[in-house]
Amino acid sequence: MSERKGGTGRKSIAAKKIVSDAVKSPEQENEKDSLRVLFCGSECVPFIKTGGLADVMGALPPALKESGVDVRVIMPLYGDIPNDYRRQMRHVVDFEVEMSWRRQYCGIETMEYDGIQYYFVDNRFYYYRPYIYGSGGEEAERFGFFCRAVINALPLIGFKPDILHCHDWQAGMIPALLSIQYKHLPFFSNMRSVMTIHNLQYQGTFDRRAVQDLLGLGDSLFTSDKLEYFGCANFLKAGLVYSDLITTVSQSYAEEIQTAYFGERLDGLLRSRRDSLYGVLNGIDMKDYNPQADGCITSAFSADQLSGKAECKTALQRELGLSEDAGVPLLAMITRLTNQKGLDLIDRVITEIMDTGVQFAVLGKGDAKYTNLFSWAEGRWPGRVAARFEMNGPLARRIYAGADMFLMPSQFEPCGLSQMIAMRYGAVPIVRETGGLRDTVLSYNEISELGNGFSFFSYNAHDMLHVIQRAVSYYKERPETWKTLMLRGMTSDFSWNRSAQAVHSLYDRLVSRARE
């Protein structure tokens, strides 16, 4: 292992040469008037997706562009990206990235999709694998390479961003490297960074010495107020310490993660940065999730014409092998089958839930204990419980369209998109009051007649059961109120435009502060 220096840490020789050559380029001196932002993350629709991060990376940039931001996206070039997109890419540049004692090839490919310019970091050794995310220390190298490659590529791609907007731990070292090793260079001196937390539970924690060696980080940086994390290196913490602003995906989650219960051992750091921490609620694609024009569902419907909703319910019952009964309340879940999603609560009171008279449809993959639970339930209540253990987008849409109620009893939920999609399709949400669920679902109050769903606060199986019982009673006994709840959800604005306006405002504040 080569000798480490204290203070700012070693500078990448390759980075020095790349920057020194590129700074002289007239193309880089051509400043544009519009705000320039580069989204940096590990996945993005339509190219590759494992979770909600990909939806944000794909949907927020077009909304920001509509508000006047010159926004582009950079991500790894995975082997599983479909060939239809690969054929549209063109090569921009290639160079070497210094990783410890090695110099690794890095190519930058680009294409335009839906009006947004995308860049792809190409290295077959790191990204042509039968998985997107692996495990163990090798992930530090894969995404350490990505973070270094993003910064080194900037002077070479003809785009000089004002802000690097980094998403989740896989991009967390970008703000740290920018501040520690690049800010002294003229090209990077005015560049700012934003770090977005999509789920604080995933942090990218690795062996300290290995990360130091990979990224050339000096011993003096590994203190509790900087990069050190219980004797390890933590990519997400690096981004939280060194970014200029921190955002997360709902206002309530921004408050929750400053507490010990939700803070995943980073709550102290987040409290210290509370003045730079903002919650911006995610949105959904209102054009894509539109029951009037969704080709995956049986019958189109809208807030003005609800008859198609009943047809979707009958078709879903037939498809899933449930008894075809228009009057029975159909309760649905589309979720990962894990404790985080509140499945342990359902396990505790599933018999009592079924005693309310509902049908129960479940779609998702996850822990064996919960696949066993719902497999047992199918046999225990034939024609009333249907479980499909798969990731199936078209079926998910048919469930949203056919369900009367949508259950999300999560332990924590940074934002949650399913409750928004469910409301868009006329399924009334039943949720626990946490994170984005609390910010989007207001429990119906029969005195004020306000609300768009049902909710409970304590993470308790019988509190959840009581709220399900309440929802079923409204469905059976107060159909006009139930219709009102459906219509409120269907006509709510969950578009990305609201999010884009809030994020744009934060960008403007950050850039104006930098120019003062």
Instruction: With H, G, I as helix, E, B as strand and everything else as coil, classify residue 244.
Output: coil
- For the sheet containing 102-113, what is the strand order? 90-99, 102-113, 116-122, 70-76, 36-40, 163-167, 192-197, 245-248, 277-279
Does residue 284 have a pLDDT over 60? Answer: yes
Q: Using 50, 70 and 90 to split pLDDT, how confident is the model at 146?
A: very high
Q: Which two tokens stand for residue 135?
A: 């495990």
Could you give the CA distance from residue 487 to residue 98 in angstroms, rounded to a whole number? 56
Q: Which of 266-275, 309-318, 439-448, 506-515 is least confident?
A: 506-515
Residue 514: predicted pLDDT: 63
Task: State yes or no: pLDDT of 399 exceeds 90.
Answer: yes
Burial class (CB in 10 A: 0-12, 13-18, 19+), 513: exposed
Task: Check residue 516 and give its pLDDT.
Answer: 56
CA distance 214 to 470: 56
Q: Which of 255, 228, 241, 270 is nearest to 439 (CA)?
A: 255
pLDDT, mean over the chain: 93
Half-sphere exposure of 481 (CA within 13 A, CB side): 20
51: pLDDT confidence band, cut at 50, 70 and 90?
confident
Residue 515: predicted pLDDT: 61
Model-level pTM?
Answer: 0.90
Q: Parallel, antiparallel, or unpaired: how do β-strands 232-234 and 228-229 relate?
A: antiparallel
Collapse the DSSP code of 238 into the 3-class scheme (helix H, G, I; strand E, B; otherwise coil) and give the result: helix
Alpha-carbon torsion angle 345, 349, 354, 360, nearest 10: 20
* Residue 462 to residues 199, 327, 348, 476, 489, Cα–Cα distance (Å): 27, 25, 9, 21, 26
Cβ(204)–Cβ(166) below 8 Å? no
Name the burial class of residue 189, with classes exposed (0-12), middle (13-18) and buried (19+) by CB atoms within 10 angstroms of its CB.
Answer: exposed
* Contact criterion met (CB below 8 Å) for 449 and 442: no
Q: State what percent of residues in the chain have pLDDT above 90.
A: 90
Mean pLDDT of 180-194: 97
Q: Per-residue b/e over 209-245, b at no fewer than 16 CB within 10 Å?
A: ebbbbbbbbbeebbeeebbbbeebbbbbbbbbbbbbb
Look at residue 179 in the predicted model and tell me its pLDDT: 97
The predicted pLDDT at position 31 comes to: 47
What does the pLDDT read at residue 256? 98
Per the CB < 8 A criterion, the answer to whether 26 and 107 are in contact is no
Residue type, 289: Y
- Is residue 51 classed exposed, middle or buried when 0-12, 13-18 and 19+ CB atoms within 10 A define those classes? middle
Q: What is the pLDDT of residue 17?
A: 52
- What are 351's two structure tokens? 């018999």
Residue 6 has pLDDT above 70, yes or no: no
341-352 pLDDT, tens digit per residue, is 999 999 999 999
Model pLDDT for residues 309-338, shown as the tens digit of each residue: 999 999 999 999 999 999 999 999 999 999
**Banded pLDDT at 5 (limits 50, 70, 90):** very low
pLDDT band at 100 (very low <50, low <70, confident <90, very high): confident
The CA dihedral of 20, 21, 23, 26, to the nearest 10 degrees, is 160
CATH 1.10.3370.10 assigned to domain 43-283+497-515? The reply is no
Quote the tokens at residue 281: 């609620």
More confident residue, 391 or 177: 177
CB 452 within 8 A of CB 442: yes
Topology match between the domains 43-283+497-515 and 307-493? yes
Beta bridge partners of 197: 248
Domain boundaries of the chain, sorted by first residue: 43-283+497-515, 307-493
Beta strands 102-113 and 116-122, pairing class: antiparallel
**Over residues 104-115, mean pLDDT:** 97
Q: How many helices (H) and strands (E) does the chain have?
A: 20, 18
Please compute, for residue 45, the number of CA atoms within 13 A of its CA located in the half-sphere on the CB side. 15
Reply yes or no on domain 307-493 having CATH 3.40.50.2000.
yes
pLDDT in tens, 419-460: 999 999 999 999 999 999 999 999 999 999 999 999 999 999
Instruction: Tell me which of 7-16, 157-166, 356-365 is least confident.
Output: 7-16
Terminal Cα distance for the chain, rounded = 42
123 with 108: CB under 8 angstroms?
no
* pLDDT one-digit tens code per residue, 61-90: 999 999 999 999 999 999 999 999 999 999
Displacement of CA 142 from its chain's centroid (Å): 20
* Residues, the chain: 516
- Residue 26's pLDDT is 38
- Answer whether residue 135 shows pLDDT above 90: no
Instruction: State the amino acid at position 475 in one-letter form.
Output: Y
Overall average pLDDT of the 28-41 stretch: 76
